[in-house]
């Protein structure tokens, strides 16, 4: 079995909001600045953090989730990164033990040491107690040390360091500095493309801070981790989409796109053609469309006013060509979308129904989409609702709860749902979903509808 050895560090925290992304981005930029090859991964389903980390590291960043992607996929991606990297960084999600699977589960499975980022504002010796609890909670994890974020003074550092258990070092202390903090938006971080120059300044300031804190010595002390190639990754049907062009919406309104999904489409033989529903007047020559998630609610007027693009997509739909619309793509496919300012705008009208934003309340969680083409795992994350929609052909299956998940709609060759699908989970189903020939006719899809319900 092929094996590669590479130092690795897992950046975790006792809770969200502790500064994991800030620290991971700063470390990635520092290593890049020194000419090192760093490969960064993000735990769990996430679109926004990987955009930030990709800009910081200068290389693609993808999420790894043991449930959504599977152990075999995660193992292969780690192995491929270890072959070429000087260091692997993994950013955790939420708190260290939160979720099923958790950051701790991923770190333990691949024996990656954990650096815990903790915002120590308002505490001192208590940080030692928290670290002792985290380190002793499970026997199968390795704590490399603490990164004390928002550490005010040298005396503050001394109090924290003196309270840590003997086997847990203080790896670094970072100052309270708004210039290091990454900006946020209603679903998480602001998209990297919107504030590239501002992010560059923050990355450089963060790299300076972690270098001044002596973090390089801690990285140099890391021992290589053994990563083995996977023997059980889902096989990709060779060239199932050969000669096939998939049009992919990609702009400020539609940007929730896993690189792994694009890679899978290309591995299936498809050619990718990107277009902008915001600014383009026509579709590229293509056989199928993918309208991914994003922030259409922030661009409702521009989407509504681009009548040429709306007409082109409607014509594509009426020609019975395959379209996958996920979350933001679903909202775009409806008759109207009402934004946060209660302004209603006309959308594509491919699917009956009306979308509206609903403030801070939302829906999220891991689910499987049960389709006529097969089951594909993914997740939901939205703060909108769709009303007046037709009867769905089925519902997402929640990871650990019996209640029905997100509705899945099918109108002609349009498949629309709030779910974000992870294509590598089921390459065969994805190939069938984008194929020129439908996997089922109306009669067999009706049978699937009844069975699913």
Binned at pLDDT 50, 70 and 90, residue 400 comes out as confident
Tell whether 238 is covered by a domain: no
> Is the domain of 71 the same as that of 154?
yes
Tell me what the mean pLDDT of segment 271-281 comes to.
Answer: 98
Confidence of residue 415 (pLDDT cuts 50, 70, 90): very high
> How far apart are alpha carbons 377 and 366 in whole angstroms?
8
Last residue of a domain, one of 228, 257, 276: 228
Pairing of strands 374-382, 420-421: antiparallel
Give tens-digit pLDDT for 29-79. 999 999 999 999 999 988 888 989 999 999 999 999 999 999 999 999 999
**Containing H/E element for 307?**
helix 307-318
Domain that holds residue 306: 245-452
Q: What is the DSSP letter of 222?
A: P
Task: State whether 290 and 371 are in the same domain.
Answer: yes
Contact 192, 52 (CB under 8 A): yes
Q: 78 near 110, Cβ under 8 Å?
A: yes
| pLDDT per residue as tens digits for the range 118-170 | 999 999 999 999 999 999 999 999 999 999 999 989 999 999 999 999 999 99
Q: Is 437 helix (H, G, I), strand (E, B) or coil?
A: coil
Domain count, the chain: 2
What is the per-residue pLDDT for 447? 46
d(CA 180, CA 90): 19
* Pair (14, 134) in one structural domain: yes
Bridge partners (DSSP) of residue 43 are 64
Q: Are residues 387 and 287 in the same domain?
A: yes
Residues 150 and 220 grouped into a single domain = yes
The residue-averaged pLDDT of 255-277 equals 96
Please compute the mean of the pLDDT values over residues 190-207 and round it to a whole number: 78
What is d(CA 274, CA 261) in angstroms, rounded to the nearest whole number? 14
Judged against a pLDDT cut of 60, whether residue 268 lies above it is answered with: yes
Sole residue written with tokens 């990355």: 203
CATH number at residue 91: 3.40.50.300
Whether 95 and 175 share a structural domain: yes
205 in any annotated domain:
yes
First to last CA, the chain: 44
Q: Which of 228, 260, 292 is the endpoint of a domain?
A: 228
How high does pLDDT run on average in the chain? 91
Task: Report yes or no on 195 lying in a domain.
Answer: yes
Question: Residue 446: its pLDDT value, please?
Answer: 55
Q: Are residues 362 and 259 in the same domain?
A: yes
Answer yes or no: is pLDDT of 178 > 80. Answer: no
- Domain of residue 376, CATH code: 3.40.50.880
236 within some domain: no
Last residue of a domain, one of 166, 194, 228: 228
Closest CA to 224 of 103, 86, 90, 27: 86
Would residue 237 count as lying in a domain?
Answer: no
pLDDT of residue 444: 46
Domain identity same for 336 and 309 = yes
Stretch 317-327: mean pLDDT? 98
Catalytic positions, please?
A: 327
- The verdict on 47 and 195 lying in the same domain is yes
Residue 235 domain flag: no
Q: 216 vs 213, 222, 244, 397, CA distance in Å? A: 8, 10, 47, 45
Q: How confident is the model at residue 189 (pLDDT cuts 50, 70, 90)?
A: very low
How many percent of the chain have pLDDT more than 70?
A: 93
* All residues at 6 or more sequence positions from 449 whose CB lies less than 8 Å from its CB, including other chains: 391, 393, 394
Does the pLDDT value for residue 311 go beyond 70?
yes
Least confident of 102-106, 268-272, 294-298: 294-298
pLDDT (tens digit per residue) in 205-262: 999 999 999 998 889 899 999 999 998 777 788 889 999 999 999 999 999 999 999 9
Mean pLDDT of all residues in 294-317: 97
The whole-angstrom distance between residue 404's C-alpha and the CA centroid of its chain comes to 23
- Same-domain check for residues 266 and 334: yes
The answer as to whether 432 is a domain residue is: yes
Task: Kindly state whether residues 306 and 275 are assigned to the same domain.
Answer: yes
**Residue 298 pLDDT greater than 80, yes or no:** yes
Same domain, 328 and 288: yes
- Is 234 a domain residue? no
Residue with tokens 């449930």: 67
Half-sphere exposure of 18 (CA within 13 A, CB side): 26
């Amino acid at each position: 079995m092929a094996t590669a050895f590479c130092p690795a560090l897992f950046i975790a925290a006792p809770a969200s909001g502790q500064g994991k992304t800030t620290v991971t981005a700063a470390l990635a930029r520092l290593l890049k600045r020194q000419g090192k090859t760093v490969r960064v991964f993000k735990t769990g389903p996430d679109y926004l953090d990987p955009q930030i980390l990709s800009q910081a590291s200068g290389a693609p960043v993808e999420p790894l989730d043991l449930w959504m992607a599977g152990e075999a996929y995660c193992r292969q991606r780690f192995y491929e990164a270890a072959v070429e990297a000087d260091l692997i960084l993994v950013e955790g999600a939420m708190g260290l033990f939160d979720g099923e699977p958790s950051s701790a589960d991923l770190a333990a499975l691949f024996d990656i040491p954990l650096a815990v980022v903790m915002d120590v504002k308002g505490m001192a010796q208590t940080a030692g107690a928290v670290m002792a609890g985290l380190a002793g909670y499970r026997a199968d994890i390795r704590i490399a040390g603490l990164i004390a974020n928002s550490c005010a003074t040298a005396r503050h550092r001394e109090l924290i360091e003196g309270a840590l258990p003997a086997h847990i070092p203080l790896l670094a202390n970072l100052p309270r500095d708004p210039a290091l903090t990454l900006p946020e938006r209603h679903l998480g971080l602001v998209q990297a493309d919107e504030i590239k120059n501002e992010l560059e300044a923050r990355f450089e300031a963060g790299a300076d801070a972690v270098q001044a804190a002596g973090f390089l010595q801690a990285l140099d002390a890391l021992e290589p981790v053994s990563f083995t190639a996977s023997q059980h990754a889902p096989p990709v049907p060779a060239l199932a989409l050969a000669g096939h062009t998939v049009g992919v919406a990609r702009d400020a309104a539609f940007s929730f796109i896993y690189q792994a999904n694009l890679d899978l489409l290309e591995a299936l033989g498809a050619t990718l053609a990107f277009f902008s529903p915001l600014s383009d007047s026509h579709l590229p020559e293509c056989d199928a469309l993918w309208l991914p998630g994003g922030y259409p609610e922030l661009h409702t007027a521009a989407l509504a006013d681009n009548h040429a693009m709306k007409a082109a997509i409607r014509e594509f739909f009426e020609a019975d060509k395959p379209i996958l619309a996920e979350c933001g793509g679903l909202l775009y496919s409806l008759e109207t979308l009402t934004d946060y300012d209660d302004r209603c705008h006309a959308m594509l009208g491919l699917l009956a129904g009306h979308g509206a934003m609903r403030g801070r309340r939302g829906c999220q969680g891991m689910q499987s989409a049960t389709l006529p083409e097969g089951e594909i795992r993914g997740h939901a994350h939205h703060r909108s609702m769709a009303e007046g929609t037709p009867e769905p052909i089925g519902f997402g299956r929640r990871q650990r709860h019996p209640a029905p998940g997100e509705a899945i709609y099918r109108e002609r060759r349009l498949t629309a749902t709030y779910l974000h699908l992870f294509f590598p989970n089921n390459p065969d189903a994805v190939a069938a979903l984008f194929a020129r020939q439908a996997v089922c006719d109306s009669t067999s899809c009706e049978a699937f509808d009844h069975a699913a319900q």
